[in-house]
Chains A and B, each alone.
Chain A
């Protein structure tokens, strides 16, 4: 695939430390932010960085497939959230925010209300986990992968578990699971570069995403029924 090769060659400068930084920033955003639009964008970017990091240990085509699976999952999450938001709006329990005004509304919200206690707590927990995984990555390096990849794996797995532990919302828990799985996948693809394993891990990710979307829909439907007099 010459075009893909050229594209990856162009982005090669990102494939080491910048991608690790990208993974860390997107993971932090996913843990701290409660805004579903920002989370979907962060998750899509995270899959891009994970794909780039994966090119260090596996073929470009396989990394591209994994990135593609991730983006399809992001699409599924986006559609689910959009559907849930419109369902909530039709029940009158949430206000509509047009996409073009979204960023301005976010800024205005932060200016007026500051950062919520939940976000501040999540950020502090993220910092603690980041320090822990940073120490762990130098003390317990993973076999077959470089130091930067080890750090990325630990960050994804650690913050994924943190997100699972901190959240009750099915989609956020699902994002945590997918982050954890991405972290492990990044390491495991170096140990077992089999196409079938890649396929099965992709199916695991996809079924998790669909399951979480289903649980979210069930939760919204139940809360709508409960709120109906």
Chain B
């Protein structure tokens, strides 16, 4: 009998190796990656927990506890949905990567990261989860560095910041063990809470540690950045929730709530102001991630199950905006030598309509424009917060408007007549997109999916609510 959850740790590593070998055949490796991530994502949702299933003459059982190198791997309902989300998001990103950069290292490295991040959701005690996330972060450097592109300084920053978060998260486990033995020593609890807050502030890019997000988005491979802002960030959020579920004493009495709200407000305001003045299109995606994380923290600061459901809904809809923006940036980057600035993209919109459409719809979705996927989560948050905390709602609207100003400036340049000699020279080398119907089809499908999710929040809302229901640390 095969323990099903081991498949989600071992199989991606094997497929990642195969994909790396077949990298030269871009379409083959892309389709293999898309198919396998899709299959694994659906499988983990479809297979019933605790029941034996026969597959190709082999018996597979999902759920329960499995011993791995002497440590426990536990698959519960919440992990099932979380792992499925990671794989399905990766599948969507791979689909877009197939169209813009089929030979990219994102495919093999992405599989390695999926294995590590899935492991981090399953393994106990949590110190091993933290270490697996850190290894995934370190491995992401290989995907973030655009082959032949500018040096990815953002990847260096990301790795440095994540490494600084590691000690705090590892020491919390020891401190809380001591606290369990000496419950009167509340200093241990206070130190643990401070370490937890500091470490996750680093990992989520909270102000003043937000600089790595725009740096990563600005000089790294756009789709790898989108992978990081969706898959990695989701794993970080699930890690935070696992910490709080394991050590509910850390947030007893919801004393974290005002700090989370304040941090969230600082993020949406800083992200909005900086995005409005940004001329590099890639960095707009990074500031979008800052704003989105800030909105999630504001929702988390509500210290209620509904607030948590909105955090998770935000995570579920984020890939639509990020993936589309990244695809647009990749297409435009190929046309202007990976230097995607307002000055260099002038007039490119007419020759690269699919990339321009993807960028516009994606970025506006991150900003939470009505009828886009991002709006589904943002509107629910506005409605829930409005009666009690209008200041936070205004801050979020302000942040979104700031991002929209940045996007508007980029779109104005993209749709303007090409005037600058320099940019025209760059464009002349790149083939136009008009006749690339597969790219148009993929972008069209992604745009339609984004709009459908934006107009029908009931598609993902119940999943987020169900996920939030699995967590008990906010229960009175």
A and B: bona fide binding partners? yes
Contacts of B155 in A (CB 8 A): 211, 215
B153 at the interface (CB under 8 A from A): yes
- B148 near A191: Cβ-Cβ < 8 Å: no
- B160 near A164: Cβ-Cβ < 8 Å: yes
B391 at the interface (CB under 8 A from A): no
B305 at the interface (CB under 8 A from A): no
A204 at the interface (CB under 8 A from B): yes
- B149 near A188: Cβ-Cβ < 8 Å: no
A168 to B128, CA, bound (A): 31
Q: A84 CB to closest chain B CB, in angstroms?
A: 13
A215 to B155, CA, bound (A): 9
A203 to B135, CA, bound (A): 7
A177 at the interface (CB under 8 A from B): yes
A222 to B148, CA, bound (A): 6
- Given contacts A181-B163, A197-B131, A204-B131, whether A173 and B156 have CB atoms under 8 Å apart is yes
Interface 1/0 per residue, A152-170 and B, CB below 8 Å: 0000000001001000101
- A215 near B145: Cβ-Cβ < 8 Å: yes
- B127 near A192: Cβ-Cβ < 8 Å: yes
Which residues in window 128-174 of B have CB below 8 A to A?
128, 131-132, 134-135, 138-139, 141-142, 145, 147-153, 155-156, 159-160, 163-164, 166-167, 170-171, 173-174
Contacts of B147 in A (CB 8 A): 218
B70 at the interface (CB under 8 A from A): yes
Contacts of B124 in A (CB 8 A): none
From A164, A200, A214, B142 is in contact (CB under 8 Å) with A214
- Given contacts A177-B159, A177-B163, A188-B170, whether A196 and B128 have CB atoms under 8 Å apart is yes
- A225 near B135: Cβ-Cβ < 8 Å: no
A215 to B143, CA, bound (A): 11
- B127 near A214: Cβ-Cβ < 8 Å: no
A204 to B169, CA, bound (A): 15
Contacts of A21 in B (CB 8 A): none
Which residues in window 27-68 of A have CB below 8 A to B?
none
A208 at the interface (CB under 8 A from B): yes
A196 to B152, CA, bound (A): 32
- Given contacts A177-B160, A197-B127, whether A214 and B138 have CB atoms under 8 Å apart is no
- Given contacts A191-B174, A196-B71, A200-B132, whether A225 and B148 have CB atoms under 8 Å apart is yes
A170 to B157, CA, bound (A): 10
- B160 near A173: Cβ-Cβ < 8 Å: yes
A56 to B163, CA, bound (A): 25
- Given contacts A200-B132, A201-B131, whether A215 and B160 have CB atoms under 8 Å apart is no
Which residues in window 420-447 of B have CB below 8 A to A?
none
- Given contacts A170-B151, A196-B69, A211-B159, whether A188 and B171 have CB atoms under 8 Å apart is yes
Nearest CB in chain B to that of A218: its residue? B145
A170 to B153, CA, bound (A): 8
A176 to B149, CA, bound (A): 25
- B171 near A222: Cβ-Cβ < 8 Å: no
From A184, A191, A218, B151 is in contact (CB under 8 Å) with A218
A175 to B222, CA, bound (A): 27
- B148 near A208: Cβ-Cβ < 8 Å: no
Nearest CB in chain B to that of A173: its residue? B156
Which residues in window 168-220 of A have CB below 8 A to B?
168, 170, 173, 176-177, 180-181, 184, 188, 191-192, 196-197, 200-201, 203-204, 207-208, 211-212, 214-215, 218-219
Contacts of B152 in A (CB 8 A): 215, 218
- A196 near B156: Cβ-Cβ < 8 Å: no
Q: B240 CB to closest chain A CB, in angstroms?
A: 20
**Contact residue range for chain A?**
20 to 34
- Given contacts A203-B135, A207-B135, A221-B148, whether A192 and B170 have CB atoms under 8 Å apart is yes
Contacts of A204 in B (CB 8 A): 131, 134-135, 138, 166
Contacts of B138 in A (CB 8 A): 204, 207-208, 211
Total interface residues in chain B, CB < 8 Å: 33
Q: B179 CB to closest chain A CB, in angstroms?
A: 13
- B153 near A168: Cβ-Cβ < 8 Å: yes
Contacts of A176 in B (CB 8 A): 160
A170 to B163, CA, bound (A): 15
A188 to B150, CA, bound (A): 37
Contacts of B141 in A (CB 8 A): 211-212, 214-215
Nearest CB in chain A to that of B140: its residue? A211
A43 to B166, CA, bound (A): 22
Q: A220 CB to closest chain B CB, in angstroms?
A: 9
Q: A175 CB to closest chain B CB, in angstroms?
A: 12
Nearest CB in chain A to that of B174: its residue? A191
Nearest CB in chain A to that of B130: its residue? A200
Contacts of A203 in B (CB 8 A): 131, 135
A176 to B153, CA, bound (A): 15
Contacts of B151 in A (CB 8 A): 170, 215, 218-219, 222
Contacts of B166 in A (CB 8 A): 181, 184, 204
Q: B111 CB to closest chain A CB, in angstroms?
A: 15
Q: A166 CB to closest chain B CB, in angstroms?
A: 12
Nearest CB in chain B to that of A144: its residue? B174
Q: B28 CB to closest chain A CB, in angstroms?
A: 24
Q: A130 CB to closest chain B CB, in angstroms?
A: 20
A173 to B131, CA, bound (A): 20
Contacts of B71 in A (CB 8 A): 196
- B128 near A200: Cβ-Cβ < 8 Å: yes
A176 to B161, CA, bound (A): 12
Nearest CB in chain B to that of A225: its residue? B148
Interface residues of A (CB under 8 A from B): 161, 164, 168, 170, 173, 176-177, 180-181, 184, 188, 191-192, 196-197, 200-201, 203-204, 207-208, 211-212, 214-215, 218-219, 221-222, 225
7 A-B contacts (beta carbon < 8 Å)? A170-B156, A181-B163, A211-B138, A214-B141, A214-B142, A215-B141, A221-B148
7 additional contacts (CB under 8 A) given A200-B128, A207-B135: A168-B153, A184-B170, A191-B174, A197-B127, A208-B163, A219-B151, A221-B148
The 3 A-B residue pairs with the shortest CB-CB distance in the complex, in nearest-first order: A211-B141, A200-B131, A207-B138
